[in-house]
Amino acid sequence: MRAYGVPLTQGHDKLLNSLKQAPLLSGYHLALWFASNWWRLRWEPRRKSTAWALAHSMASIGEGYIWPDIDFASDGRFVLLNARPTMDRPGTPFRYITPETTSVIAAAKFEAVVDEFVATVVQRLRDCCPGATALDATWAAVGEERASNTVSAKRKLEALLGLDPDDMDDGRYAELQADGERIGVTALQELAAASEHGAIPTAGELQEMGRASGHPCGGFVRFGQAAPVRANEPPMAASGQAWQAGGATARWLRDQQRLGADPITNRMLSELCGLQPRVLQKARTATGPGLAFLARGMAGKNCVVLRAKREEGRRFELARLLGDELMREKDEPLKDEPFSLATRSYTYRQKAQRAFAAELLSPFQAVDGMLDGDYSEEAQQDVAAHFNVSAVAIRTQLANHERIDRFEPEWGAAGAGLRAAPGVRP
């Protein structure tokens, strides 16, 4: 397997004492793994769980072969291939030595490559071994599901919840569909992607959070008519990665508002969102809402709910919600999507939000200039204090701009995702 010309399966063959591009592996078992996990590979974002690894890591394929430590994580628009070297274990004849690397491909390209590979294996089996196989049946079922809009919608939601096909019974799916009609399909999918063990807040619970913790919102700032981007034009176009989309939108907003590279005060940020500055002050309650969101039309008005307790966290969440509004798809009617959510998931939308917030509150050029080549933890903390953001936001900015090590899948949660070239091939 190669990505942009870089071998991902190169390693050391101990028996021959030589380097090889890959050991002998089973095309059948790899194709069956792709087919069995197709929906989760295509739609499920990264989760820190054994169940996620079993469905997304090639190392879990087994069947007596030495598989590479490569996993696939989708954000909905792109699929990230994370490759790592394997340990040198006694008794194991092959060790993968590929350096830690992340490759990013468009989801449509991923589908095409997997389709071609599985179809090739299926045809080869038919030519060599006539008769039905488990791969034949599984791949045919996946094809039928993909061809049906109704079944595809259910399979996608199951995958976002971290479930295998048919793990969700019809009753539960009907409940989620009913909630989706109240909170919007996009909001439902974002909640599903952020869920743990399949549990997500109901529409009623979201509304109760809004009533208990919501702050009246007068309206978010919009791009002017002469702005270089609006709706789903370039930053949110499918051709741009999340960190690029969010960063570009934040820079355009700073330019429009003539903010320069100075820190954004609480008053400035709250005015951009139609809120009072006190909303950003440290929360005094011990408990609070489980997530941050913007609710439209609650009791005839909009309201903002913030989850974070600390001031820098509340600033970051509010900036994320602002970015979500500015990057909203133009074909996404507000009446059909009454909630905009800021969750902890790794979907494209959430990563773009984080990239926007990081660039708006701590513009990279200013951050890099202040650090002046000193990327120590102490220097990062000083810069974070200057811009009133967390140290994680500064680390993410530096990682996305290749100032520090960028191979950290967790950066997708705190920042904006990882950089790589736009293609892959097996």
What are 12-47's pLDDT values in tens digits?
A: 998 889 999 888 899 999 999 999 999 999 999 999
The pTM for the full model equals: 0.88
- Average the pLDDT over 362-373 and give the result: 95
| pLDDT tier, 222 (very low <50, low <70, confident <90, very high otherwise) | confident
- Average the pLDDT over 413-418 and give the result: 36
Quick check: 353 pLDDT over 90?
A: yes
Quick check: 419 pLDDT over 60?
A: no
Distance CA 14, CA 22 (A): 13
- Average the pLDDT over 360-373 and give the result: 96
Q: What pLDDT is attached to residue 22?
A: 85
Q: What pLDDT is attached to residue 116?
A: 97
Quick check: 223 pLDDT over 90?
A: no
Quick: pLDDT tens for 300-326: 688 999 999 999 999 999 999 999 999
Q: What pLDDT is attached to residue 363?
A: 96
Quick check: 77 pLDDT over 50?
A: yes
Report yes or no: 55 and 41 within 8 Å, Cβ to Cβ: yes
- Average the pLDDT over 231-253 and give the result: 73
Residue matched to tokens 């790794």: 346
Sheet holding 215-217, edge to edge: 215-217, 301-305, 292-298, 339-342
- Average the pLDDT over 328-332 and give the result: 67
- Average the pLDDT over 173-179 and give the result: 95
List the beta strands (DSSP E) in 130-275: 215-217
- Average the pLDDT over 116-132 and give the result: 90
Quick check: 417 pLDDT over 60?
A: no
Report yes or no: 146 and 152 within 8 Å, Cβ to Cβ: yes
Quick check: 208 pLDDT over 60?
A: yes
Report yes or no: 61 and 46 within 8 Å, Cβ to Cβ: no
Quick check: 180 pLDDT over 60?
A: yes
Measure CA 89 to chain center: 33
Interacting residues of 258 by C-beta distance below 8 A, sequence separation 6+: none
Q: What pLDDT is attached to residue 4?
A: 82
Strand partners, 104: 80, 422
The values of phi and psi at residue 164, to 5°, are -80, 160
The values of phi and psi at residue 264, to 5°, are -95, 120
Q: Give the Cα-Cα-Cα angle 378, 380, 382 (nearest 5 degrees).
A: 70
| pLDDT tier, 234 (very low <50, low <70, confident <90, very high otherwise) | very low
Q: What pLDDT is attached to residue 224?
A: 63
- Average the pLDDT over 164-191 and give the result: 95
Q: What pLDDT is attached to residue 299?
A: 61
